[in-house]
Amino acid sequence: MKANVWPNKPYPAASPSGASGRHPSKLPPRLTQALESFIPCTSHSDLPALRTAVTGVDAIACAYTTDPVLYLEGGLWLLRAAEAANVKIFIAASWTQDWTNIQYGDFELYDSILAFVDHVAAASVIRPVYLVNGTFAEWLMRPTPSSLGSEGNGEPSGSVRCEFLGTGDTKRVSWTTMDDAAAYTIELLCNNPAIREGQGGVFRFRSGEPTLREMAAVYEKVTGQEVEVVCKGSLEDGERELDAKKRETGRAGLWDRLRLSSSVAAARGLWEFKEPVLDLSYVKEPTTFEEHLRERMEEGSRCGGIGRGE
Ligand SMILES: NC(=O)c1ccc[n+]([C@@H]2O[C@H](COP(=O)([O-])OP(=O)(O)OC[C@H]3O[C@@H](n4cnc5c(N)ncnc54)[C@H](OP(=O)(O)O)[C@@H]3O)[C@@H](O)[C@H]2O)c1
Q: State pLDDT tens for residues 161-212.
A: 999 999 999 999 999 999 999 999 999 999 999 999 999 999 999 999 999 9
Number of H helices, E strands in the chain: 11, 12
Cis peptide upstream of residue 143 (ω within 30 degrees of 0): no
Decide which of 301 and 2 is more confident: 301
Cα 8 to ligand 1 centroid, rounded to whole Å:
9
Point out the ligand 1 atom lying closest to the alpha carbon of residue 97. 1
State the Cα–Cα distance between residues 283 and 265, nearest whole angstrom: 31
pLDDT, one tens digit per residue, over 118-143 is 999 999 999 999 999 999 999 999 88
213 CB less than 6 Å from ligand 1? Answer: no
Query: Is residue 125 left, alpha or beta, with left meaning phi > 0 and alpha meaning psi from -120 to 50?
Result: alpha
At residue 147, does pLDDT exceed 90?
Answer: no
| Residue of minimum CA distance from atom 37 in ligand 1 | 21
- Residue 29, SS3 per DSSP: helix
Mean pLDDT score, 296-310: 58
Closest residue by Cα to atom 27, ligand 1, is 65
Average pLDDT over residues 231-247: 98
> What integer is the mean pLDDT of 278-292?
98
Instruction: Note the pTM of the prediction, 2 decimals.
Output: 0.91
pLDDT one-digit tens code per residue, 45-57? 999 999 999 999 9
First to last CA, the chain: 34
Residues 66-124 pLDDT 10s: 999 999 999 999 999 999 999 999 999 999 999 999 999 999 999 999 999 999 999 99
Q: What mean pLDDT is reported for the chain?
A: 90
CB 249 within 8 A of CB 258: no
Of 18-27, 115-124, 178-187, 239-248, the range with the lowest mean pLDDT is 18-27
Cα 42 to Cα 3, 137, 197: the distances in Å are 21, 31, 32
Beta strands, E only, the chain: 3-6, 16-21, 37-40, 59-62, 89-91, 129-132, 135-136, 150-152, 160-164, 175-176, 201-204, 227-231
Asked if residue 65 has its Cβ within 6 Å of ligand 1, the reply is yes
Distances (CA, A) of 109 to 69, 130, 172, 259, 310: 10, 16, 21, 11, 22
Å from CA of 71 to ligand 1 middle: 10
Q: Averaging pLDDT over each range in 12-26, 30-44, 89-103, which range is the top one?
A: 89-103
Calculate what percentage of the chain has a pLDDT beyond 90. 79
